[in-house]
Structure formats: C-alpha cells, structure tokens
Amino acid sequence: MDSDHQSSYKLNKTEKKFLRKQIKARHTLLRHEGIETVSYATQSLVVANGGLGNNVSRNQLVPVLEKCGLVDALLMPPSKPYSFVRYKTAEEAKEAYVTLNGKEIVDDLGQKIILYLNFVEKAQWKELGLQALPPGLMVVEEIISSEDEKILLESVNWTEDIDNHNGQKCLKHRRVKHFGYEFRYENNNVDKDKPLPGGLPDIWDSILEKWLKEGFIKHKPDQLTVNQYEPGHGIPAHIDTHSAFEDEIVSLSLGSEIVMDFKHPDGVTVPVMLPRRSLLVMTGESRYLWTHGITPRKFDTVQASKGHRSGIITSDVGDLTLSKRGIRTSFTFRKVRQTPCNCSYPLVCDSQMKETPPSFPESAREASQLEREYVHRVYEEIAEHFSSTRHTPWPRVVDFLKALPSGSLVADVGCGNGKYLGINKELYMVGCDRSQNLVGICRERHLEALVGDALAVPLRSGSWDACISIAVTHHLSTAERRVAALQELVRLLRPGGMALIYVWAMEQEYKKKKSKYLRENRLRQGKEEEIHSDAAEPGSLGEQVPDAGDQDAPCRVSAVTDVRAGGGSASKVTDAKLPVHTNRTSFRSQDLLVPWHRKGNPGRDEPVGATESRAPGPVFHRYYHVFCAGELEEACRTLSHVRVLQSYYDQGNWCVVLQKV
C-alpha cells in the first residue's frame, strides 16, 4: 500500500491488519537492528522477512524484485531475516513498495513467508575485514575423483550390527563408525591399549600412500572415524583432545559440501567452505587452539559467485546466498599419540593442565589481589581500545537519565569513557572510575570525572539524587564485596534518591529469545558496505556485553569445566585459578576470566593478565561474576534503608532500580 495514500480513504479490515504488521516490522527493525525507515520514497528499500535468516535465497528473491524494475544491488546480510534492495530509480522502488508489500512467497523449505517493505535512506551493513584461514589450516580441492568417491561411499556398510568390532554408533545428530581405535565420547579419548581388530580398511592404503607422497599428510594415520550427516545435523564446536592424537588431523568430505566454523578463543569466527571431495588438513594452531564445528541447519550461507569454492566465506553482503545441504559423509584420519602432548598451548592442553581444580578467593586480600591483576590493571592497558568500542548508550539507561528532574545531581560510578555523562544536559553529572586512563579520556572530552574505587567512592554521602552503576558490580569477586559496592551507592543517595544497576547475566537467552549480543558477532572491527551515503552507523544494545550464555546453564558458585574449550593465554592466567572463557560461547560458570583482544601494538610492560596471542595485539583477561536470575535483586534486598522499585532483564543484563528510604 502506497504510504502517500494511506490516509486518503478508509482502510478495510485486511488493509488494517497488513498496516499493523508493516508498522510492527518497521519498529522491530529499528529496535533490534538500528535500521531507521523513512516515510518518503527513495531508491532503497529494506525487505523484512526476505533474508538469508528466513531461508530466502538470492536466486529466489531477485526474480520477485525484478518484476518491479531494474535491481541495481541486493544486499543480504548473513543470518539476518531481512535484505536491502536498491533500484535504478525511486519510481521503481515505489512500484516495489506498492506491489510487493504483503506479498506471499515460499522459502527454500517450502514454508510461506510474507514480505514487508519500507523505504530507507541507504542500505548498509558492517562487513568484516579480510580474514585469513586459521594458521596451520589447509583445504585441498578435488583430492579424489568422482568415481573414487562413489566407491568409498559404497564401502561403508551402515547396515552392520551396531555391536560389531568397528564401533558403529547412532549418535543424536549423526551416524558414526570407528576403525583402528574407537573414540570414546564419554571421556573424549581412545583406549590406546585396545585397538580395534582389522585396523583401517584396506581400501584406504593406496589413497593414504598417495597423500603421503604428495605431501598432504606427514604421518600415516592409524585411526579413522566415519561420520554421516543428514541435512540439519551438525557437530558441536570442539578441539580434538591433545593427549589422544598427534598434531595432524585430516578430514575428507564426500557426498556434499559443508561450511565448518573455526573459532579462536578471542571470539573471532572464520566460516570455511569444505567442497565435496575436498581434504581438510589441520595442524599447529588450527588443530590445538581453534575449535571447529558444524552448525545444525539445512542451508549454509555461501558465496553466490560461481568462481568461489573452498576457503573463507566472506561477508560481502552483495555476494551471499543459500546452499541446500545434502547427505555428507566425512572420513577423519588421526594418528594416536603414545606420549604426552607438549604443544605450545598449555591452557587448552589436557596433558599440561594442572590437576588441581580452579578455586576462588578465600579472603578479602586474595579478592583484592585478583581484582587488581585481572580488572584494574587490565582496564588501564586496554583503555583506549576499550573506549573506541563504547560509543552507543543503552536505551533504557538513557530513559532512566532523561526521566530525572532537571537539575538533579547524578553520580556515574564506574563511568568508563563517560558515554552517559552528557546524555541529559539538564542534569549535573559526575563520573568516577577506577581506571586513571579511562578518566583521562573523560577529561579530554571535557566531562566531570575523577578516579575512585566502587568500594570507596570519593563523593559526599546523602547528597545525590541518583546514581548509575552500569557493568561494574560483576567485576567484584566475592558476594560480600558485591554487596558492599551496592551499599556504597545507597550511601551516596539522599532519601528518596534512586540508583540504576546493570550486571552481566548468566542467561543470555531469556524467554526463548537470544540477546542481541548472542545473535551477532561484532568482535571484529568492520567496514560498511553501503548503498547511497551519509547515514550514521546503527548502534548496538549488545556492544558492551563481552560474552554469551545459555538460559539452561546451571547457576552455581563452584569450579568450572570450561578450561579445555577456552584458552589462548599463557600459564600465568592459570595462577588466578579461574577458567578462561571462550568468547561467544555458553557459560559454564558464574566466575571466569574473559579474553579481550587488544588492537594495535602491545605495550612494553604487560600486566599479569596479558599474554601474547595472534597478531596484531595481546590478549588480556578480565574477571567477571555473571549473575543468575534474581541474584542481583536478592543482594539489593539485603541492604538497609532500600526499596527495590523495579527488576528486569535487558539484552543480556540483569537490572535493578532501587530507592533509598
């Protein structure tokens, strides 16, 4: 329906229903994606429900759009339920707006989808910079012929008794066979003293010899795992156990192509296309440090250009489409390790890990030392880079500040780079932060800020109309210190004054909805590919949240089992006796160290929490205590002279508004 004529006549029931849904789509795009639509005709449109995340492929959408005019560009961001289209003229875009709004199409799964179109000044998407394959990773295309592929697939007898000597199993998401040695999933290892009879099938002898001769592998494997994946199946991200197998792991993909995700501990994810009949070779860092896994889905996001086959799936949103998965069979070859692993990645190496379990501070002195090394000193080191990522205020914090009466005195405890200090010009705001370098950034911006600790804020008692504490309390390492920080906020407030507190939530999926942080990978600084010009980059509610959790993960204050999956740091980190979390993965504990990969050159004197990692900068580790549902509210209720006015969840954070009575 043409927006110019919506008010010229009375809408019927169907038109009213459509208009409501169109407005809802518009608001959803603005609220969750920062995409602002306009009411007048332009060359560019955002097509809600017409995206790769809705199983709508480029080949499916282009013919629909071209019925209304010449499509100049179509941007399809990965995993998003919308796309951007630009026509040659605004008149053609207007024709699409009128004709296609409310149009029903069928996606690649056969499900009906209704498109909703709105005009935008420009279409833009943050495109990842150029990525490289993980070090030590190689993909060899067409390693075998199609005839050999057929023979090898037919050689696998999936109808054998599941109790046969080759260890055939039907797992939840795939069928699997083992040869040489059986991989024991209960302990992620092999029994080196109990090889399976028969060894590897004879059919592989000549193929392995050829790979050895051509230099694709350096050792003849003695263990083979065969996995068969149906469309929609996958395998969780993992690192093959260091103590079980030697450095080299190779995998042959037959029957269908697949996209495999490789993830570094600092959170960088590299999607790699493994074409049909290709060989994946993992050695060194890619084998020992990066996790690899296959997301369970029926379609992969791939390059639309025909020339692109193996290697990295780039984020060129003008060249992405969907590829339907087929039945894929992988043949993964390994050599069983007979001696302990002595790789260069001790934190993720089960052969080199300390046997003593992680522990937490047992005294105020230990807690203070932990925070000094893994919070205070780290923020001093990363202040400049940290500040460059903290520019968009969170909407509900802004709402709190703008609702305060004009002339209110407000203290921002843990102000960081001061992004909230100038939100409401009608307030008198003073910031306080433990980091001298962050306070220095505030002063460069001519903001009122001073250095101070959240446990001893250098401000006058009972004088402040409001306080905010955003993403601060979760850096304190004991329950007593967290309560003391909350009590310090109450001390500052006058009677009737209010405080807003945000802490990082254990539950990054809430009410069956993932937080924006969990839905997006914003860990790499990107560049914008855009249609048109001169529009601000959309903000993100999730920019301040450094990690991801799982709604169903158990909340506990105990040692964690996340050490093997995390890593990327030297042995000094283990001195803190806390697990290092793998960024953008589910939480396994409430107390953990979170990596921060600093851009630029490392400084001369790195703190205890810093370790050399991948170029271009070092990895630092910050201590966090993530809060379970109700934990923050319960802590606030232990305070004297306090009333909890509101408790809510906001994009991966638990939040409380309290009042001093």
Cα separations in angstroms, 510 against 81, 122, 261, 505: 20, 32, 25, 10
pLDDT at residue 615 in the model: 43
Confidence of residue 354 (pLDDT cuts 50, 70, 90): low
- 252-261, 267-276, 593-602, 637-646: which has the minimum mean pLDDT? 593-602
- Higher pLDDT among residues 252 and 521, named by residue: 252
CA distance linking residue 294 with residue 471, whole number of Å: 33
pLDDT at residue 320 in the model: 79
- Higher pLDDT among residues 338 and 570, named by residue: 338
User: Taking 90 as the threshold, does the pLDDT of residue 344 lie above it?
Assistant: no
Cα separations in angstroms, 121 against 37, 46, 74, 425, 526: 7, 10, 15, 29, 21
Which fold would CATH assign to domain 137-336? Jelly Rolls (2.60.120)
User: Taking 90 as the threshold, does the pLDDT of residue 181 lie above it?
Assistant: yes
455 class by beta-carbon count within 10 Å (0-12 exposed, 13-18 middle, 19+ buried): middle
pLDDT at residue 32 in the model: 61
User: Taking 80 as the threshold, does the pLDDT of residue 334 lie above it?
Assistant: yes
Confidence of residue 521 (pLDDT cuts 50, 70, 90): very low
CA distance linking residue 303 with residue 316, whole number of Å: 8
pLDDT at residue 606 in the model: 40
Q: Which tens digits make up the pLDDT trace of 283-326? A: 999 999 888 988 888 888 887 776 556 666 665 667 678 888 99
Question: In this prediction, what percent of the chain has a pLDDT beyond 70?
Answer: 77
Instruction: Residue 524: count other Cβ atoms within 10 Å of its Cβ.
Output: 16
CA distance linking residue 385 with residue 14, whole number of Å: 52
CB of 44 closer than 8 Å to CB of 51: no
- 339-353, 404-418, 515-529: which has the minimum mean pLDDT? 515-529
Q: What is the mean pLDDT of the chain?
A: 80
User: Taking 60 as the threshold, does the pLDDT of residue 363 lie above it?
Assistant: yes
CA distance linking residue 85 with residue 94, whole number of Å: 12
pLDDT at residue 435 in the model: 95
pLDDT at residue 550 in the model: 30
Q: Where are the domains of the chain?
A: 18-119, 137-336, 364-507+630-660
Give the residue carrying structure tokens 């992620």: 188
CA distance linking residue 570 with residue 90, whole number of Å: 57
Q: Which tens digits make up the pLDDT trace of 374-401? A: 999 999 999 999 988 888 899 999 999 9
Q: Which tens digits make up the pLDDT trace of 394-424? A: 999 999 999 999 999 999 999 999 999 999 9
The DSSP line for 137-162 is EEEETT-S-HHHHHHHHHT--TTS-T
Question: Could you give the residue ranges of the DSSP H alpha helices within 412-492?
Answer: 436-444, 479-492
Q: Which tens digits make up the pLDDT trace of 434-481? A: 999 999 999 999 999 999 999 999 999 999 999 999 999 999 999 999
Confidence of residue 265 (pLDDT cuts 50, 70, 90): confident
CATH class of 18-119: alpha beta
pLDDT at residue 537 in the model: 24
Confidence of residue 36 (pLDDT cuts 50, 70, 90): confident
Secondary structure class of 625 (helix, strand, coil) = strand
pTM of the model: 0.51
Give the residue carrying structure tokens 């989808």: 113
CA distance linking residue 350 with residue 364, whole number of Å: 32
| Section 352-370 average pLDDT | 72
| Cis amide bond preceding 616, omega within 30 | yes
CA distance linking residue 84 with residue 76, whole number of Å: 7
Confidence of residue 221 (pLDDT cuts 50, 70, 90): very high
CB of 179 closer than 8 Å to CB of 199: yes
CA distance linking residue 9 with residue 334, whole number of Å: 72
- 45-54, 508-517, 568-577: which has the minimum mean pLDDT? 568-577
Confidence of residue 520 (pLDDT cuts 50, 70, 90): low
| Section 509-526 average pLDDT | 56
pLDDT at residue 161 in the model: 52
pLDDT at residue 51 in the model: 86
> 463 Cβ partners below 8 Å, 6+ apart?
409, 492, 494
CB of 22 closer than 8 Å to CB of 28: no
- 46-50, 507-511, 518-522, 546-550: which has the minimum mean pLDDT? 546-550
Confidence of residue 172 (pLDDT cuts 50, 70, 90): low
| Section 330-335 average pLDDT | 95
pLDDT at residue 602 in the model: 41
The superfamily in CATH containing domain 364-507+630-660 is Vaccinia Virus protein VP39 (3.40.50.150)
Instruction: Residue 638: count other Cβ atoms within 10 Å of its Cβ.
Output: 11
- Inter-axis angle of helices 436-444 and 377-388, nearest 10: 30
Q: Are strands 409-413 and 464-470 parallel, antiparallel or unpaired?
A: parallel
Q: Are strands 112-114 and 116-120 parallel, antiparallel or unpaired?
A: unpaired
